[in-house]
């Protein structure tokens, strides 16, 4: 085994340990817990009342919010290192980041005008 | 706090990336206009005009760049990541022309299919910006970013006909396979970086020229994965599975745009990567391209024979054409590069022309009926339209006096020039494929000139009022036909144009 592969040995050990630990905990739970199958336990939870219609476990309308969240999450990932190094980057960095934020804002304006943010 | 040490920022030559900026700015501007004119009836015409102006500006900038880079040498900017050379500008012009065609064809089409949405124009321009970026990329990371920028709008465009199931299916299929191929490409970049320590194409070449690799597996696997990733985009066999379904399902203007522009952009990346970065490894990548070219030509032509759908036949024919162009890459000479460039130019117009006729000629309210039976007797009922489709498919077959003939001649010539046994074998396969391809092109032509067998079919064909050719589509058809004819009759100018463009 070369040095290159040996350096990844720790990763392999960690993967095995993770699988072993999760398997142990789930397996132990399965062994000692009582199992009483009831039909009600297998329907989606809707605040205690019986679910109506074809409502699944989550509403598809959350998807748009999730998408918008991801966009601004990624924006934050870009902005943090930029903000820390703003002095070093100088005007170049400021202009670049302004363009980036403006383009993203335009996307938000578009989504807003399209009524994506209204819970219809 | 520690005093901040300035970080060196790359010099930006805005002139070098001006065409890309023009397209991105227009695309973003269209999104803004769309948002502000939400309820205005005039929003589609306004957006259409803005998009056309943006494309013309980009075309003008490219034309000015052409003269400058041809006379004064390439412009390298942005820390060596962007390289504007005659090669890039030539393909940029092809891409902008194809985008213009995709735009003009769509105007009447979107209204007809009740899909009117200015988002189409914005997506088209953003995709074209990614393609221009790809032609100028001199760094694997830029190639990857360009690949994503051009692909993501295309996924949406393919699925643009939301109500038609086939369009949705095509969009999903293209998205899943496209994402897969992007991942493969990215893995290739990682391995090549691991082997050479750089992602810059010229940097890789310098490194490989100056160092002998102790262990080549990483680099070769990386190169192979890069070719697989790009093989998906150019639709080379065996990475072609998505092509027929996507070309058939996508709205026809999008199909035309994809066949012409995506192919040009993807081949730009293929040519640049293998010839700029890996010239020392030509003995390793040439056999791969040999196999890809041979399989694409044969499978594309044979599969096209047995189709019952005109749009699908043209999709398979585009796979065969990818194989012909791969022959030019395989030749690995400046003659081969010139032939590949010329063929990308002429194929773009042959494909746009054929798909433009298909867009108009299909009977029925939606863009779904493209079987041979639907096209039977088209040239009798509508001589000009049918005649144009016959002209375009014969050009794709490579009949003399059309651009397809000149293009094929150049490609075959470039392979013959290399003169080894394996080259001649590939040449024989190419000619064989061209002969097989003739059969299905003639089948399309024959279908167009023969009347339907039974009277009910005739009645059905005549009962639907023929669709008018709107002005914009007329311009595209006339332009594509004129170029296909002019290159066929007077190829000199265009061969010179391509010859000037071979320089990296």
> pLDDT of B167-180, one tens digit each?
999 999 999 999 99
Q: Mean pLDDT across the stretch B117-128? A: 94
CATH entry, A57-120, from 1.10.357.140, 1.20.58.1610, 3.40.50.920, 3.40.250.10: 1.20.58.1610
pLDDT at A1 > cutoff 80: no
pLDDT at B291: 95
- Of the two residues B319 and B80, the one the predictor is more confident about is B319
Percent with pLDDT over 90 in chain B: 71
Q: Please tell me which of the candidates B9, B31, B32 has its beta carbon nearest to residue A89.
A: B9
Tell whether B6 is covered by a domain: no
Contact A93, A79 (CB under 8 A): no
Tell whether B8 is covered by a domain: no
Residues 4-43 of A with CB under 8 A from B: none
Residues 6+ away with beta carbon under 8 Å from B100: B52, B55, B56, B59
CA B297, B302, B305, B308 dihedral sign is: negative
Tell whether B10 is covered by a domain: no
**In this complex, do A93 and B9 lie within 8 Å of one another by their Cβ atoms?**
yes
Instruction: For chain B, give the mean pLDDT.
Output: 91
Q: Mean pLDDT across the stretch B275-299? A: 93
pLDDT at A92: 86
Tell whether B9 is covered by a domain: no
pLDDT at B342: 95
Chain A: residue whose CA lies nearest to B36: A113
From the CA of A93, how many Å to the nearest CA of chain B? 8
pLDDT at B307: 92
Burial A38-65 (b: 16+ CB within 10 A, else e): eeeeeeeeeeeeeeeeeeeeeeeeeeee
Q: Please tell me which of the candidates A88, A110, A113 has its beta carbon nearest to residue B7.
A: A88
pLDDT at B81 > cutoff 80: yes
Report ipTM (2 d.p.).
0.78
pLDDT tens, position by position, B378-393:
888 888 999 999 999 9
Number of Cβ within 10 Å of residue A26's Cβ equals 10
**In this complex, do B7 and A113 lie within 8 Å of one another by their Cβ atoms?**
no
Contact B341, B86 (CB under 8 A): no
pLDDT tens, position by position, B3-20:
567 777 788 888 899 999
pLDDT at B102 > cutoff 90: yes
The region of weakest confidence among B40-49, B145-154, B422-431, B455-464 is B455-464
pLDDT at A55 > cutoff 60: no
CA distances from B222 to B66, B142, B214, B286 (A): 33, 17, 16, 15
Segments forming the whole domain that contains residue B394: 18-500
pLDDT at B226 > cutoff 80: yes
Instruction: For chain A, give the mean pLDDT.
Output: 84
**Chain B residues in contact with A113 (beta carbon < 8 A):** 35-36, 38
From the CA of B5, how many Å to the nearest CA of chain A? 6
Which among B418, B412, B268 is positioned nearest to B345, based on CA atoms?
A: B268
SS3 B137: strand
Number of Cβ within 10 Å of residue B218's Cβ equals 16
pLDDT tens, position by position, A61-85:
778 888 888 888 988 999 999 999 8
The region of weakest confidence among A93-97, A111-115, B45-49 is A111-115
The half-sphere exposure of B39 on its side-chain side, counting CA atoms within 13 A, is: 1
pLDDT at B301 > cutoff 50: yes
pLDDT at B470 > cutoff 50: yes
Model confidence at A51, pLDDT cuts 50, 70, 90, reads low
Q: Which DSSP helix (H) or strand (E) runs through B47?
A: helix B43-72
pLDDT at A120 > cutoff 70: no
pLDDT tens, position by position, B341-371:
999 999 999 999 999 999 998 876 777 788 8
Residues 6+ away with beta carbon under 8 Å from B322: B234, B235, B236, B240, B263, B296, B300
pLDDT at B455: 61
Show the tokens assigned to B36: 């502000």
Pairing, β B75-77 against β B82-84: antiparallel
Q: What predicted TM-score, i.e. pTM, was given to this entire model?
A: 0.88
Residues 6+ away with beta carbon under 8 Å from B92: B19, B62, B65, B132, B135, B136
Mapping DSSP onto H, E and C, the string for B418-487 reads HCCHHHHHHHHHHHHHHHHHHHHHHHHHHHHHCCCCCHHHHHHHHHCCCCCCCHHHHHHHHHHHHHHHHH
Chain A: residue whose CA lies nearest to B38: A113
Q: Mean pLDDT across the stretch B226-246? A: 94
pLDDT at B1: 46
**In this complex, do B36 and A89 lie within 8 Å of one another by their Cβ atoms?**
no
Tell whether B319 is covered by a domain: yes
**Total count of domains within chain B:** 1
pLDDT tens, position by position, B136-158:
999 999 999 999 999 999 999 99
pLDDT tens, position by position, B381-432:
888 999 999 999 999 999 999 999 999 999 999 998 877 888 999 999 999 9
**Chain B residues in contact with A97 (beta carbon < 8 A):** none
**In this complex, do B5 and A85 lie within 8 Å of one another by their Cβ atoms?**
no
Q: Mean pLDDT across the stretch B238-261? A: 94
């Amino acid at each position: 085994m070369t040095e290159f592969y040996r350096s990844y040995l720790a990763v392999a050990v960690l993967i095995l340990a993770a699988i072993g630990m999760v398997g142990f905990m789930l397996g132990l739970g399965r062994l000692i817990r009582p199992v009483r199958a009831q039909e009600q336990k297998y329907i989606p939870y809707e605040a205690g009342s019986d679910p109506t219609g074809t409502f699944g476990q989550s509403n598809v309308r959350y998807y748009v919010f999730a998408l918008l969240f991801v966009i601004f999450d990624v924006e934050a990932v870009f902005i943090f290192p930029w903000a820390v190094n703003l002095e070093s980057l100088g005007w170049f960095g400021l202009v670049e980041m302004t363009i980036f934020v403006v383009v993203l804002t335009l996307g938000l304006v578009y989504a807003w005008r399209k009524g994506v943010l209204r819970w219809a | 706090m520690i005093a901040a040490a300035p970080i060196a920022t790359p010099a930006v030559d805005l002139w070098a990336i001006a065409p890309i900026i023009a397209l991105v700015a227009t695309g973003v501007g269209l999104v803004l206009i769309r948002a502000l004119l939400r309820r205005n009836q005039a929003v589609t015409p306004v957006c259409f005009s803005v998009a056309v102006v943006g494309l013309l500006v980009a075309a003008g900038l490219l034309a000015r760049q052409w003269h400058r880079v041809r006379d004064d040498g390439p412009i390298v900017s942005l820390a060596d990541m962007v390289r504007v050379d005659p090669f890039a500008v030539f393909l940029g012009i092809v891409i902008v022309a194809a985008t213009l065609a995709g735009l003009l064809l769509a105007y009447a089409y979107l209204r007809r299919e009740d899909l009117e949405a200015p988002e189409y124009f914005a997506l088209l321009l953003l995709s074209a910006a990614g393609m221009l970026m790809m032609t100028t990329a001199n760094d694997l990371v830029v190639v990857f970013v360009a690949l994503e920028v051009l692909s993501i709008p295309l996924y949406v465009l393919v699925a643009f006909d939301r109500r038609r199931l086939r369009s949705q299916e095509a969009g999903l299929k293209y998205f899943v396979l496209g994402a897969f191929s992007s991942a493969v490409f990215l893995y290739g970049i990682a391995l090549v970086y691991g082997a050479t320590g750089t992602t810059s194409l010229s940097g890789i070449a310098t490194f490989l020229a100056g160092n002998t690799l102790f262990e080549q597996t990483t680099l070769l696997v990386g190169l192979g994965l890069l070719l697989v990733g790009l093989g998906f985009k150019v639709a080379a066999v065996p990475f072609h599975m998505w092509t027929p379904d996507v070309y058939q399902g996508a709205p026809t203007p999008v199909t035309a745009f994809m066949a012409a522009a995506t192919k040009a952009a993807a081949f730009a990346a293929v040519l640049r990567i293998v010839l700029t970065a890996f010239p020392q490894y030509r003995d390793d990548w040439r056999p791969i391209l040999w196999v890809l070219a041979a399989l694409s030509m044969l499978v594309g032509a044979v599969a096209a024979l047995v189709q019952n759908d005109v749009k699908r036949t043209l999709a398979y024919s585009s796979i065969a054409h990818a194989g012909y162009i791969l022959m030019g890459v395989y030749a690995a000479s400046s003659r081969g590069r010139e032939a590949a460039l010329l063929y990308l130019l002429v194929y773009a117009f042959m494909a746009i022309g054929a798909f433009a006729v298909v867009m108009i000629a299909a009977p029925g309210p939606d863009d779904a009926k493209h079987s041979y039976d639907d096209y039977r007797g088209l040239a009798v009922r509508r001589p000009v339209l049918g005649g144009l489709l016959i002209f375009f498919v014969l050009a794709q077959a490579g009949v003399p006096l059309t651009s397809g003939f000149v293009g094929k001649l150049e490609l075959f010539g470039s392979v013959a020039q290399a003169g080894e046994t394996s080259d001649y074998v590939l040449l024989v396969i190419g000619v064989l494929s061209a002969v097989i391809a003739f059969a299905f092109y003639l089948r399309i032509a024959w279908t167009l000139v023969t009347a339907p067998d039974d009277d009910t079919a005739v009645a059905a064909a005549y009962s639907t009022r023929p669709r008018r050719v709107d002005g914009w589509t007329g311009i595209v058809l006339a332009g594509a036909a004129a170029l296909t004819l002019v290159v066929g009759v007077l190829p000199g100018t265009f061969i010179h144009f391509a010859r000037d463009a071979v320089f990296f």
